[in-house]
Amino acid sequence: MTEADLAGLGVYRIAVPIPFPQAGGPVNLYAIEEAGGGLVLFDSGFASAEAHGAIEEGFRRIGRRFDEVTRIVVSHGHVDHYGGARFIQERHGDGPPVFAHPADLPKVSEGGWRWRDQAGAYAAHLARLGVPAEVIEATAAAGEKSFELAPRVAHAHPIGEGERIRGRHLDLEVLHMPGHTPGLVCLHDRARRLFFSDDHLLQKVSPNPLIELGPNGEEGYFRPLLAYLDSVRRMHALEVDLVLPGHGPPFSGHRAVIDRLVDFYGKRQAKLRELLAQGPRTAWELSRALFPWAKPPDAFLTMSETVANLELLEARGEVVRAAAGGVRRFALAG
């Protein structure tokens, strides 16, 4: 199915540039025609002068106006997916409402927590995982900077599993697919076998399973890779002819992409078992072995990947952890 075929179904993809090369390319904003003539936006792009220009050009290209937008549905609470929402609201005039899953609402709306509110909890958590103080400091600075990249909306409304978005030609079901974030949602048209996957499934990039502490800094609140593999199994079972991702062009063959991704994680877990066969190690030591090229500001991403795979091995009973001197070490079970 071509972009022209999608336009015939009332679906328009607007690619918006972002400063994150690891994401897999520009982020996609999808404008979906409603039965009544308005537009629902699935995601909203990024907040920068270049991104705003791309959003405006995208609307001109498809021959639509900002005041036709009736609502914005944010797939998940990352800055490149909700960052353009306030700009679109301001260009609209009346400010169309923004919707997100309750688990990610705090990241999207003004009343939600900021990185600085939990920086101490994350710093303490990373220290327990063996991360050096200077790396924690660099990670905290990078985290604060990332949250400053996108203005939040004054208020966001909840949307959840099973709700429907009625398009002019599509009947889209909201599917809660936690993993990349606790509140990530996708859209699925069962009859036309279309799946709007945002960052849940990308053709060439694996979604980061990010460390996520609870509202009060509690550990174990969310185990992203375990949640992700459950969600991706649900998607594997769906009949899908075309995936419309959060980054990159639409693609087919979702089951093959999922199988490659699961195999990729399996190889990472095998590498961790190989490293732990040499003796107990901290998550930081394991992360350095997996990602020797990583710089201090990248530590949150690389530690998240490492810890998520360790959590999966723990859940399978293959790895155990023990604390000594305030630092945790992981070891092979038995």
Q: For 223-272, how does the pLDDT look when each residue is reduced to its tens digit (9 = 90+)?
A: 999 999 999 999 999 999 999 999 999 999 999 999 999 999 999 999 99
**Residues 254, 269: Cα–Cα separation, whole Å:** 23
Q: What is the fold, at CATH topology level, of the domain defined by 117-145+270-332?
A: Arc Repressor Mutant, subunit A (1.10.10)
Geometric angle at alpha carbon 92, from 15 and 199, rounded to 5° = 30
Locate 255 and state its tokens: 């089951």
Instruction: Please choose, from the candidates 183, 213, 224, the residue with its C-alpha nearest in 3D space to the C-alpha of residue 118.
Output: 213
Mean pLDDT, range 125-142, rounded to an integer: 90
**Does residue 61 surpass a pLDDT of 70?**
yes
The class (CATH top level) of 3-112+152-252 is alpha beta
**Residues 101, 99: Cα–Cα separation, whole Å:** 7
Percent of the chain scoring above 90 in pLDDT: 78
Q: For 284-298, how does the pLDDT look when each residue is reduced to its tens digit (9 = 90+)?
A: 999 999 999 999 888
- Sign of the dihedral through C-alpha 5, 61, 21, 200: negative
Looking at residue 111, its amino acid is G
Tell me the CA distances in angstroms from 163 to 99, 101, 158, 173, 234, one per residue in order. 12, 11, 11, 6, 17
**Residues 294, 242: Cα–Cα separation, whole Å:** 34
Mean pLDDT, range 110-114, rounded to an integer: 81
Q: For 163-172, how does the pLDDT look when each residue is reduced to its tens digit (9 = 90+)?
A: 999 999 999 9
Instruction: Please choose, from the candidates 235, 237, 210, the residue with its C-alpha nearest in 3D space to the C-alpha of residue 225.
Output: 210
* CA-CA-CA-CA dihedral for 17, 18, 22, 23, to nearest 10: -80
pLDDT on residue 208: 85
CATH 3.60.15.10 residue ranges of the chain are: 3-112+152-252
CATH 1.10.10.10 residue ranges of the chain are: 117-145+270-332
**Residues 56, 119: Cα–Cα separation, whole Å:** 36
State the number of CA atoms in the 13 A half-sphere of 211 facing the CB.
26
Taking all residues of the chain, what is their mean pLDDT, rounded to a whole number?
93
- Cβ–Cβ under 8 Å, residues 100 and 183: yes
Mean pLDDT, range 129-135, rounded to an integer: 94
Those residues whose C-beta lies under 8 Å from the C-beta of residue 4, and which sit 6 or more positions away, are: none
Mean pLDDT, range 52-81, rounded to an integer: 96
